[in-house]
Structure formats: C-alpha cells, structure tokens
C-alpha cells in the first residue's frame, strides 16, 4: 500500500499541473445502504484529495445517504431543477474536500414529461456547472428499483460487507442492475474486512455465482479493514479521511482512489453522452410505467 507521504506528493503534483482527467461515471450499489453511503463518501473525498473533480449524485434518502454522511441537508433536488422550480446552481452543494453533491429525487417521471427542447436547455446547464471531466458517482437507492442514472454509468461498484449473510441480497442487486444494463463493468469493494481469507472467499462465492447464472464478470477493486474510526466518522457525519487521515481505513481509501485513477474508459463516454443516455433511459422507464408495464426494464439498446 502506498504511504501517506507518497499519496500526498502525487496529489500535489496533479493539482500543480492542473491535469484534466477523463470523464468517469460510476454507479455505487450495496445491500447495506449506510455502509454504501459511508464508502462512497470516503472514496469521493479521497478522489478529490487526489486532485480529481468529483460530483456525487445522491439518489438515496436521509439518513442512509451521502448527504447525511457529509453532515448536509440540501434544500433543492435535481428533480426540482428539471421541473423548472429552481436553478441548477442552487441544487449543487459544496461538500467536504471540494466534492460537489446533488440530491436527485426520482427522475424517470421528470424525464418522460420533458420536451426535447426543454431537455437540451437543461443539458447545457448540467455540463456548464457540473463539468465534462473527472468523476460522477451515483449513490443508488436501496433495493433493486431501476435507475436511469445508474443505467447510464459505464462502471458499477458493489460495496459488500464482509458477511456471508448479505450474499443473497447482493446477488439480487447484481441481477436487477444487469437486466437494466448488461454491458456495465462491475467491481467489488469489501468493507470491514475481517481477514484476507474471509473477504477472498466472499468475493469468490459471489463472483462465481454471477458468472454462472448471469454471465457477469466481477473484478476485485479492494477492501477496507475493520477500523473503529469508521463508526466514529458516521457518528460525526464527516468523511473518514477528515476524521482520522492516517487510520488504516483512510489509508485504504487513499490507495483505492489511486487504483481508481488507473481505470480505463469503457466506451469513451463524456458528460454529454452520459446525460443524454440517462434522459433517454428515463423516458423509456417513465413511459413504460405510465402504460402500466411495471416489469419493463431499461435496456442498452436505448442508450
């Protein structure tokens, strides 16, 4: 694992050189909403410390969302922006570590009710304010409900507690998201690692099942060890790296941010392509729901 000094030096060089990172859109899932939010908040903070531009789209509701983990209570949502009730810049909240956060609210109905001309105007604002480089992380809602934002992401991250009891629920999440977008790339992060043997067995079990029954390939992203500071950061509603920057958990997230920085592009998607894809998928989902097709799924052909 790189030392804290090495990571801080690398961050300083990136900020000095003003590196413009490629665009990455990653949806984050998990059977434990609170742990998922904590992991995403810490990873986003670590990526920002690395010199990345980071935006979090928070679909989940308080108290188990990223906004709560950051100690924030935004007044406006992206759904309000799409309805024309507020400006986008009022929905963007500055979170710790230069991370920007937006609560989304349900968007499928909003997308389906917009005209293409109205969407084009919103799209220009989204790209102007949120940007066209760096990281866009989607904190998905609990359960297996279809999400146009998550389906538009090329990368997916499954946050998995180091417990065998969550495997059934984790597989259900994988299956539902796979039906929404079969070509997404998946990685797994194991939290509160008990030991390398246990977490390796957990990943191997889930990976083997997903490959056998869904034809999915899961990639190992990494793990975060058990650390008493994790619970403390949740109580304080602050990112782990801010509460205890040198604890084992923080060092693990810094290393994970370095690993994520080497992720290659899946399809060369930029911010405009992401938002256009989310809009089209949202229209499909909204129109299907309006027609009473409750079992209709999102599909890559609409992306």
Average confidence (pLDDT) per 10 residues, the chain, 303 residues? 44 44 90 95 96 95 94 94 92 95 89 89 90 91 80 94 93 90 90 84 95 95 94 92 95 96 78 93 76 53 41
Domain count, the chain: 1
In a domain, 169, yes or no: yes
The residues, ordered by sequence, that sit 6+ positions from 128 with a Cβ below 8 Å of its Cβ are none
- pLDDT on residue 18: 42
Contact 232, 245 (CB under 8 A): no
CA Rg, the chain, in Å?
A: 18
What CATH number does the domain containing 278 carry? 3.40.50.300
The residues, ordered by sequence, that sit 6+ positions from 230 with a Cβ below 8 Å of its Cβ are 38, 191, 192, 224, 240, 249
In a domain, 294, yes or no: yes
Element housing 82 (H / E) = helix 78-82
- pLDDT on residue 15: 41
Cα distance from N-terminal residue to C-terminal residue, the chain: 38
- pLDDT on residue 10: 45
CA distance 260 to 53: 13
Q: Which residue has the tokens 């909003």?
A: 110
Q: 14-42, pLDDT tens digit by residue?
A: 444 444 568 999 999 999 999 999 999 99
In a domain, 3, yes or no: no
CA distance 298 to 284: 7
- Report yes or no on whether pTM surpasses 0.75: yes
- pLDDT on residue 197: 77
In a domain, 13, yes or no: no
In a domain, 206, yes or no: yes
SS3 160: strand
Domain that holds residue 209: 20-302
In a domain, 12, yes or no: no
- pLDDT on residue 21: 64
In a domain, 112, yes or no: yes
In a domain, 15, yes or no: no
Contact 81, 87 (CB under 8 A): yes
Q: 44-84, pLDDT tens digit by residue?
A: 999 999 999 999 999 999 999 999 999 999 999 999 999 88
């Amino acid at each position: 694992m790189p030392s804290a000094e090495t990571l801080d030096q690398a961050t300083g060089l990136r900020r000095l050189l003003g590196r413009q990172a490629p665009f990455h859109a990653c949806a984050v899932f998990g059977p434990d909403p609170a742990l998922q939010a904590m992991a995403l908040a810490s990873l986003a903070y670590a990526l920002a410390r690395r010199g990345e531009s980071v935006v979090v789209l928070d679909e989940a509701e308080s108290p188990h969302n990223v906004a709560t983990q950051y100690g924030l209570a935004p007044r406006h949502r992206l759904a309000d922006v799409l309805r024309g009730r507020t400006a986008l810049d009022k929905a963007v909240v500055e979170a710790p570590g230069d991370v920007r956060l937006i609560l989304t609210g349900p968007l499928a109905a909003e997308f389906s009710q917009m005209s293409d001309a109205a969407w084009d105007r919103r799209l220009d604002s989204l790209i102007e304010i949120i940007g066209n480089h760096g990281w866009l992380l989607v904190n998905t809602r609990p359960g297996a409900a279809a999400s146009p934002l998550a389906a538009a992401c090329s990368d997916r991250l499954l946050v998995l507690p180091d417990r065998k009891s969550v495997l059934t629920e984790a597989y259900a999440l994988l299956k539902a998201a796979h039906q929404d977008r079969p070509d997404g790339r998946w990685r797994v992060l194991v939290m509160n690692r008990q030991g390398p043997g246990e977490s390796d067995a957990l990943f191997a079990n889930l990976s083997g099942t997903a490959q056998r029954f869904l034809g999915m390939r899961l990639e190992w992203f990494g793990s975060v060890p058990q650390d008493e500071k994790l619970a403390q950061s949740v109580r304080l509603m602050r990112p782990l790296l801010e509460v205890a920057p040198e604890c084992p958990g923080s060092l693990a997230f810094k290393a994970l941010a370095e690993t994520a920085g080497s992720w290659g592009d899946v399809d060369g998607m930029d911010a405009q392509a992401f938002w256009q894809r989310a809009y089209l998928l949202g229209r499909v989902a909204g129109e299907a729901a309006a027609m009473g097709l409750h079992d209709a799924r999102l599909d890559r052909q609409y992306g």
